[in-house]
Amino acid sequence: MIEITCDACGKKWTDPRTEWILGYDLQVETPSALQRSIRFLDRWDNRRALELGAIHLRSESCREAYLEQSRATAA
């Protein structure tokens, strides 16, 4: 069984009827640069939720917290 948790607050996804946010946080490293790209999908997709680089967020506030944390680690 797969257990999905919020990448910002750590809460578990217990009710499949709730609206979660699915996105991707991908990094590409070359010898001269490191590029990071964060993208959010407009709707949840169960088939894509387990893909490499997928991020799972419980709410808009978790989305904002994740982005703030990402900015802090990039600085």
- Give the pLDDT confidence of 34-64 residue by residue, as tens digits: 888 999 999 999 899 999 999 999 999 999 9
In a domain, 31, yes or no: yes
Give the range of the structural domain holding residue 32, as residue numbers without chain letter.
21-74
* Higher per-residue confidence, 17 vs 64: 64
Check if the beta carbon of residue 26 is closer than 8 Å to that of residue 35: no
- How far is residue 13's CA from residue 28's CA, in Å, rounded to a whole number? 29
Residue 4 lies in a domain: no
For residues 11, 14, 19, 21, the Cα torsion angle rounded to the nearest 10 degrees is 40
Q: What is the pTM of this model?
A: 0.85
Q: Is residue 9 assigned to a domain? A: no
| pLDDT (0 to 100) of residue 71 | 87
Evaluate whether residue 7 is within a structural domain. no
Going by C-alpha positions, the residue among 44, 47, 21, 36 that lies closest to residue 71 is: 36
**What integer is the mean pLDDT of 13-22?**
88
Report how many domains make up the chain: 1
